[in-house]
Chains A and B, each alone.
Chain A
Amino acid sequence: MKRRKYSDLVTSVLAYSILFGIATPLLALILDSLDHTFFTTAWLHFSDWKLFLNTVLFSLVAISVSVLIAVPSAYVLSTFPGYKGKLLGLVLIAPMMMPSYVYALLWQQVLQLLDLPSEGVWIAFFVEVLVRLPLLLMAALIGLASIPRPLLEAGQIFIHPVSYLFRVIFPLIRSYLFAGLSLSLLFSVNDYALPSVFMRHTYTLEIFARYSAVGKGGESFLYALPLIVLSALLVYILLRLVPKLSAGKQGNLGYTVAFTGPIGFDIYKIFAVAVTLLQFIVPVAAVFFLIIKSPVNLFTISDMQSLQFSLILSFLSILAVFPLAWFMAEYLYRSASSMIWMILLFLFALPSSMIGSGTILFWGWTGIDFVYGHWPLLLFGYIVKLFPLFTMLIYLSIKNSDSTLWNAALLYRHGPGLWLRVRLFLIWPGIVIAFLLGLSMTLSEIVLSLLLAPAGTTSIGIRIFNYLHYGAVDQVAYLICIVMLSALVWGGGLYLLLTGHKSGREEV
């Protein structure tokens, strides 16, 4: 008993140490912000609140439209027999790996080619709907896979097809949709690069502009607080839905039954599928077209150095954050500490510019020269950025995994081997998703690289962004292609590695 208490104490101390170590940029910002009187004046400015509400409302409406497209598309995909539907679904969610501003720019290029308007609120809305579609499609596909087939078939017997979609399908997968909606809204309100392509002003852009104008991390942190609070709330909602995501996990891994309805309904389904195909075909085709029509030797030595630097740093940051996040996720699964969740939520919602300035502030105070001004500073910045996301995804995976298998394994074996040879493979979905998202985030990250990369290095994200603004779209296409291929190769390799061992879940 004493031994267990001692062990629990050590685990708690370690968990809080990791958390506070990673949260040091946030602490530095809070301390820095105590100097300012901005707090008393910021909240009185009406236009700031108006911009904040506009930003949130815009994203909410765009994502709601995406949901209305994603669900029927997911249903149609799930009617394909065998692995065709899954493969097609996987392909259609691939644009998730593309940075949102590159996606937006490719669409802008196509619109300009067709002599259509390529700026303004409505175009921004259109592209926002498309860019959030892959994540929602993935949520809907996973949701549909979790519904027992007999339940789906039964729902069709007595109900009109339109009602079947909105009164049976939607409610059954609503938890997954809400999870997808929360994540999409989180990414959308914090995205400033995509709106800037279409000249749309957002609260996040304003934070960046104010930071640029003021240059004080603490003051900008205070200004960013409404966004941070909203983001934290969204993540909290996402986590609250986890028990419901586990329900109905009997698993319907076969195909679902196709349903048809009145002509209007069929047109709606066809339209949804067409939009889903369009969000994939247009930008990917634009990438290949730009590559093909460009001269050879597009990839310069400088690009090679940037890619090497970015890939290595992404790889190292993911490797570094993974054990920390896994440890934290296991600790949260056992002890459910509200304080830790609160700090994690705030860290998750912190904009990159704040992480960067907080990191510089903190490491500047320490005066540790090996880190400050060198690549470990950027590595630390990436770890801070990735840690909350990794922790949450692994936590969700743990909650979703089969606890009876784990308990059975605990009876016969103990020690590190158990964790690496059993637990790791039980929670593989969260690891693979975290890895892919982490790779995508670090490779497309601009602000952190700008603020923290050591002199003499340029990350691939910055190169891509600069090429965009120099109008070298073909160079961008080439680099994006390589980035996406790298991510898919690594992600696919990890997937094969982890699913080469049985996860222990029987397919129904």
Chain B
Amino acid sequence: MKKLQIIVAMALLAAGTFGATTASADQLVLEGQILGVVSQDQGFSDLSGEAGSGGVGLIAGYRLGAVPEVSVLVSYHLDGMSGQRFGNQVGVDWARHRLLLGGEYGLDFLDGRLRPLARLGVGYSGQKLAMRVDGVEYQDRGHGFAVQAQGGAEVGLTSAQSTSPLSVGANFLMGYLWQTPASFGAMSSTSAPEEPTEEDPWSRATYDAGSLSASGVTWNLGVTLRYRL
């Protein structure tokens, strides 16, 4: 974690020293990405058998022409994992979605073809856990708060001097996702009716599977579309 902070700080310092960004028109930003999270939580390692989850993300943003270093971003990320545990006797499905509001700071180099940047987002994280044994599935949802900080670089495939309003780029960022633990304290049956019926008169008890802290190191690989207004 410390190494990452140092790397990002040095990158920004270099960018501040050598970067050059001039005022320009406003831009709409749209980015699609694949992402991964490597959790440091014991429970996550137990649940998945591995440490990571993978997924996709979508970011929409607005870059002010007057302050071209800064962009405002709204991002939605979806990641998850599936597996068989306990000697293939238990099926596990876990999914997380995050809605973050944040910003990006970056400097343009080489006519906008190289852009070192840093992002920070805060927002909501929701998790869903489902476990299946002998064909009977129980699931629960956990809710929490998330903060994500990343640093990296974007490579523009078109020059900033181009006359086309549309520019395409690719980026790679790494960072850390911190989120509050999700509690799966009311795992309930997905097949049983909410209330007992004549066909199924039995009340089913919920159970507490425990809590999961899926914070960890994140990375994403994205393709960015920028539309100059």
Interaction A to B: no
Residues of chain A touching chain B, judged by Cβ–Cβ distance below 8 Å, are none
Residues of chain B touching chain A, judged by Cβ–Cβ distance below 8 Å, are none
